[in-house]
Structure formats: structure tokens, C-alpha cells
Amino acid sequence: MTPDYRRALIDIIAGAENWRVWTRMGWQEIRRRYRRTMLGPFWVTLSLGLFVGGMGFVWAPLFKVPVKDYLPFVTTGMICWTFTSSIIIEGCSTYTSAESLIKQLSLPLSMLNWMLVCRNTIVLFHNLLIAIIVYAALGIIPSLNFLLFFPGLVLVCINGVWMGILLGMVSARFRDVPQLVGSLVQVMMFVTPVFWYASQLSAARANLLLYNPLMHLIDVIRMPLLGQAPTLLNYAVVIGMALTGWSLAIFVFARFRRRIAYWL
């Protein structure tokens, strides 16, 4: 099948332009998930807060690190990991979970991917409440490097959209992919410095971490929360991922976009 780049680009641009629609859809999806609950999406925040609190006070002595240093580290790590991994895992079901919507309405398919990123961004800001509480309890005042969080978040979201497009299409065609991706993400959590320090590894093994793309995706939003600036390598890898990923996603989207409805 000949790739139809024109229609693919129109779909992606139209999806981005309908930001009023997908931001509202993202918020409504969160409300639907937690309908008739007292805390709503803050249940996720509470669960994550209890998890990082337990890890902070148990693992800090194991790593022989002061709780005041380790608790912000693990808190920001889990918040950023939850955001990034959720985009990847939920990206697999972008189209399959919207089967009835795709078959009944004529809408830009990429709008579902923008909605996915928007929904998880809203949850991210809910979860940042945990970091605020931890910083307030420990008397930590964020530095101006915190402002670098926002360009880093934009870069992660840009990567999240192409991941959703690509994984959503592959998963619609091959239904084993979501299970495979979910398993790989679980493994990657333990080989990515989320709750352990890269400095704990030998120099050779620490260098291997540089080939872990998830580490760079997390660091561009995590380091500013810790009052540090991401490295140029972090930005270079994330921007390179965006350029490479979008090129591949557009090619696949242009070639198989018309088949998505038939795969559902």
C-alpha cells in the first residue's frame, strides 16, 4: 500500500488543532474512571504517596543514604516513571479502547493520542502534590532550575504522541503487543535509576545506562524537580528520539492509517 503522507499529516495536524476537544475528553475520561469515588484521581496520588513513603524510609538505610536526600529522589523518580510508563502502556490501547468511537465518527485518529498524553499530564500534576508535601516536610526550597521542568515535559509529551500512534497501530494489528510492552516496561523499571542511584554501579555499567532511552526521558523532567539541570546528553537523546520516532510514526501512519478501523 502506497503511503498517503498528505492525509496522515492532515490527520496529525487536525488532531493537534482540536486541543479544546482532546483536553476536555482527557479530563472527562479521568472523571469517568473515578466516578462516585470520594478522592477521584487523587486515589492514584495517595497510592503513589504511600508507596514512595514506604520505600523512602526502608530503602534509605539499605543504601546508607540520609532519608532527607533519598526521599525526594525516590519521590520524583516514581512520579516521573509513572507518567512516562503510563503513556507507553496506555498507548498500546489507544485505538482498541476507542473502537466504537472510531467506527461511528469521522475524526482525526491522532486526536486520541493527544488525548492520551493530556490525560496522563493531568494525573502527573496531581501526583506532583506528593513532591510538594515531601519538600515542605523536609524544608527543601526548589531552585530556579525547576523552570526547566516545563520544556522537559513538552519534550516528553511530544515523544508520547508518536509512541501512542506507533504502539496503538501495532497493537491494533497484533493483540499480543500490549502484553509484551507491559512486561518490558516492568523489567525496565528495575534497570532504570528510578529508586537507585546510577553512581552505585561500576563505571562500565553506568556507561551502559546511557543507552537506556527511558532514563533520558525521565531525567529531563526529574532533574529540574531535584533542583538540577538535565545534561546536554539528556536533551540530545530525547530530541533525537522525537525526530526518529516521528519519522517512523508518520511513515507507518501514512501507510496503514486506513486499515485501523478494519483491525478493530
* Contacts of residue 43, Cβ cutoff 8 Å, sequence gap at least 6: 34, 37
* Each residue's pLDDT tens digit, 143-192: 888 899 999 999 999 999 999 999 999 999 998 899 999 999 999 888 88
In our burial notation (b when 16+ CB lie closer than 10 A, e otherwise), range 233-261 reads ebbebbeebbeebbeebbebbbbbbeebe
pLDDT at 117: 92
pLDDT at 155: 95
pLDDT at 189: 87
pLDDT at 41: 65
The SS3 call for residue 3 is coil
pLDDT at 84: 93
pLDDT at 40: 64
**Of residues 83, 248, 82, the one with CA closest to residue 170:** 248
Mean pLDDT, each 10-residue run in order, the chain (264 residues): 78 85 80 68 72 74 78 88 92 87 83 91 87 84 87 94 93 90 90 82 77 91 91 94 94 89 82
